[in-house]
Structure 1
Amino acid sequence: MTLRLGLIFSTTGSYAALGQSALAGALAAIESLQRHDTRPITPVIADPGGDMASYERMTREMLQGGVRHTVGAITSWSRKEMIPLLERHGGLLWYPCPYEGFESNDHVVYLGASPNHHVVPVTDWIAAQGMRRAFLVGSNYVWGWETLRLARECLTQRGIEVVGERHVPLGAATPDHVLDEIRDRKADCVVDSLIGPSNTSFLQGVAARGSAGRPPVQVVSFNQSEADLAEIGPAADGLLSAGSFFEANASDMLREAARRHAPNGRVSSFFATSFAAVEMIAAAHRSAGTDAPSAVFRAAVDTPAVTAMGAMPIDPVLRHATLTPRLAIARNGRFDVLHSAAAPVAADPYMTSQTAAKPSATSASQRKLRVVK
């Protein structure tokens, strides 16, 4: 039985590099599977160009055309546009991107990093470096809002003062006044939840204000990957990023697949997770003997496939994948992994199991608290 698999990624528009990498990963997996599997997969590809109305229209067309499984969406905004249609038509979205958590839907399988995989490790790292003044900057949509809200909570719990926060319109260049504020407020680190051109212009602006090849402030990211690292250039050097997968973790097979399929020839978390998503769907479809979403999901839970990213068990209730949190530093156009969790970590999308050290009684953030009656 042929599986018609929807692939809906914005390969044009303000975050095109991420969509291109993710689509390349999915197509590379389909090609790899077709060499070994007698069950053909027919990709049904759509490019919404980052336009939310197009996501809604294209998703409806796919579902009405009989596509029951889709790998796709990059932003949480686009995922949330798709969910009502998935609910109405009985489809299943396999979402391969890091996201801000606080969601669990019966029509989504969450394969990207959750906040306990990225926000918590990054804020722990900031505290361990002895940094005490953080500035938050993010894209002006749900990912930026929510990841920075969580970052603020985690940083404050660790006794770190948040000295400012700014949001940049999606797709816009980061304005100079944001860089001025970071300097004027004497931040020693910046938590960066920007994507696309906003992120590129921000990192290049930070680097330009440095001296002797060193940026003036440590920048940390929850989502920077190899998908657009090259276009940022030397300005990315020294950036710390959290992720579930970096090119350094890839097998020779996955690297070769990226060289042949990815526009920049690189393995990113977007490429790898989309590749793994297709592997999981194909294995579960074969096991279930049907493309019915509930049966395929149950097969994926009951018999986890070993993917290009290793085993990624899915929680049957929360519907999130178990992943290995990693931290990496960008150097010379590549990421060097600094730390990997000793074992894969279950997703905690609602942050119910997180604990943090009690804030110091003398922390700046606590001194500013007052009781209002």
Structure 2
Amino acid sequence: MYSRSGTYQALSEPLFIGTMEAIEAVNQDRAIPVSFTPITRDPACDLSNYAPMCADILSNSSAKHVVGCVTSSSRKEVIPELDRAQATLWYNVPYEGFETSARVVYSHAATNQNILPILGWAQRHFGNQGYLVGSNYIWGWETCRVARTRLEASGGRVLGERYLPLGDMSVEALIAEIERARPSFVLNSLVGASSYAFIAAYADLGRRDPHFAPENCPLLSCNLTEAELPVLGDAAEGMISVGPSFCETPTADGRGSSLERTAFQSVLTLAAILAEGVSGPFDSYLAEHGARYGIDPATHHKTLDVHIAQVRGGAFEILHSWTDIAPDPYLTRPSRHPQFRDPSLTVVRA
């Protein structure tokens, strides 16, 4: 259930491709005693479509697993339907954390695997004064809240925090305010068309004002992948992102993103679990055996590698990495937070 049309279509497409290719791989593998019949729906990035479409799938078929949703708002919309049907959502997108549901497997990065490492890395290399930008819904709010809390706790400052409605491309006033504030870095939590307009405008700002060039004041993202690079073109150069995997060679069609890979792996994991002959509630099985598949039994989040990468020459170049970071969506287990061994940058102003 992915939106193949609408404002964040470019995010949904690799998820859909990864899912469908994995279904085909499972169905063709005679060694796997499981086969899948896909039932597809396109919510068209309209929040009001998600719950009815999910309910339709679950009530008019034998399906008990849904692979889908991009935004946190859409994920929250379908959870009541999943509860009613005792079904499971495989959610394959980085998100803001602070949620655990027996009905969801969170297969991509959570708070300690995305926001914390990229923010800590930026503070060490560029300074402690951030400007926060986000889409006006849960992902933007929570990403910026965590960033603001962490910055202030470490002696940093938030020079500005602004939100745009999903799909809003009017970024001129926002760029002007950033230009006046002159932060050390900008954290971009915008989604879809809003993000593309902002990134293009920020690249223009960097060309006319050296302070905002990538080497001085980079644009950070917790969810930029190869899938959106064809849409962004040269405007993406110098952007810094965080994720469980990156392709270090350019791909013209944006293939190979962590979104595509995560969706693919989720279907393979589901097939492997079902091949064990699961009986009884699926969440009970995960509570007992989830760790076997890299799924934390307590929170249903996955252990992942974490990479900081920068767009250079049309592809991502990895700058820093951690392996096997266990999830901590509520930020209550510091031992699971990526650690830095290099000293922090101290900025002294005359």
**Structures share a fold, TM > 0.5?**
yes
Cα deviation for residue 128 of structure 1 reads: 0.8
Tell me which moved more, 8-17 or 263-272.
263-272
Change (3 A) 1:300 1:271: farther
Q: For residues 222-252 of structure 1, what are the alpha-carbon distances to aligned partners after superposition, in whole Å with 9 as ceiling and x for unaligned?
A: 1111111111111111111011121249xxx
Is it true that 1:340 corresponds to 2:333 in the alignment?
no
Change (3 A) 1:243 1:231: same
The equivalent of 1:22 in structure 2 is: 15
Q: For residues 276-324 of structure 1, what are the alpha-carbon distances to aligned partners after superposition, in whole Å with 9 as ceiling and x for unaligned?
A: 10000000011125596346646861642xxxxxxxx111111111111
- Please give the alpha-carbon distance, in whole angstroms, between the structure 1 residues aligned to 2:24 and 2:281: 23
SS at match of 2:328: coil
- Please give the alpha-carbon distance, in whole angstroms, between the structure 2 residues aligned to 1:282 and 1:299: 17
- Please give the alpha-carbon distance, in whole angstroms, between the structure 1 residues aligned to 2:231 and 2:102: 37
The equivalent of 2:26 in structure 1 is: 33
The equivalent of 2:175 in structure 1 is: 179
Q: What residue identity is the alignment partner of 1:41?
A: F
SS at match of 1:98: coil
Change (3 A) 1:302 1:295: same
Is it true that 1:281 corresponds to 2:277 in the alignment?
no
Residues 281, 296 of structure 1: 8 Å contact kept: no
Q: What residue identity is the alignment partner of 1:269?
A: S
Q: How does 1:212-223 map to 2 (within 5 A)?
A: 215-216=212-213, 217-223=217-223
Identity %: 36
Q: What residue identity is the alignment partner of 1:226?
A: E
- Please give the alpha-carbon distance, in whole angstroms, between the structure 1 residues aligned to 2:192 and 2:131: 19
- Please give the alpha-carbon distance, in whole angstroms, between the structure 2 residues aligned to 1:246 and 1:273: 12
TM-score between the two structures when normalised by the length of structure 2: 0.89
The equivalent of 1:68 in structure 2 is: 64
Q: What residue identity is the alignment partner of 1:72?
A: G
- Please give the alpha-carbon distance, in whole angstroms, between the structure 1 residues aligned to 2:27 and 2:248: 26
Q: How does 1:96-115 map to 2 (within 5 A)?
A: 96-115=92-111
Gaps of 5+ in 2: none
Q: For residues 194-218 of structure 1, what are the alpha-carbon distances to aligned partners after superposition, in whole Å with 9 as ceiling and x for unaligned?
A: 1111111111101112237964431
Cα deviation for residue 172 of structure 1 reads: 1.4
Residues 244, 326 of structure 1: 8 Å contact kept: yes
Change (3 A) 1:363 1:207: closer
The equivalent of 1:350 in structure 2 is: 330
Residues 285, 296 of structure 1: 8 Å contact kept: no
SS at match of 1:227: helix
Residues 161, 363 of structure 1: 8 Å contact kept: no
Aligned length: 334
Q: CA RMSD in A?
A: 2.6
Q: What residue identity is the alignment partner of 1:27?
A: M
- Please give the alpha-carbon distance, in whole angstroms, between the structure 1 residues aligned to 2:25 and 2:209: 42
Cα deviation for residue 174 of structure 1 reads: 4.2
TM-score between the two structures when normalised by the length of structure 1: 0.84
Tell me which moved more, 64-73 or 212-221.
212-221
The equivalent of 1:204 in structure 2 is: 200
Residues 144, 167 of structure 1: 8 Å contact kept: yes
- Please give the alpha-carbon distance, in whole angstroms, between the structure 2 residues aligned to 1:130 and 1:240: 12
Q: What residue identity is the alignment partner of 2:333?
A: S
Residues 130, 187 of structure 2: 8 Å contact kept: yes
Is it true that 1:79 corresponds to 2:78 in the alignment?
no
The equivalent of 1:229 in structure 2 is: 229
Q: What residue identity is the alignment partner of 2:169?
A: A
The equivalent of 2:261 in structure 1 is: 272
The equivalent of 1:12 in structure 2 is: 5
The equivalent of 2:49 in structure 1 is: 54
SS at match of 1:45: coil
Change (3 A) 1:83 1:315: same
SS at match of 2:40: strand
The equivalent of 1:308 in structure 2 is: none
- Please give the alpha-carbon distance, in whole angstroms, between the structure 1 residues aligned to 2:256 and 2:209: 27
Q: What residue identity is the alignment partner of 1:236?
A: A
Q: For residues 314-344 of structure 1, what are the alpha-carbon distances to aligned partners after superposition, in whole Å with 9 as ceiling and x for unaligned?
A: 1111111111111000112211111110x20
- Please give the alpha-carbon distance, in whole angstroms, between the structure 2 residues aligned to 1:128 and 1:173: 32
- Please give the alpha-carbon distance, in whole angstroms, between the structure 1 residues aligned to 2:47 and 2:24: 29
- Please give the alpha-carbon distance, in whole angstroms, between the structure 1 residues aligned to 2:333 and 2:254: 38
1:320 alignment partner, one of 266, 289, 301: 301
Tell me which moved more, 214-223 or 123-132.
214-223
Residues 328, 335 of structure 1: 8 Å contact kept: yes
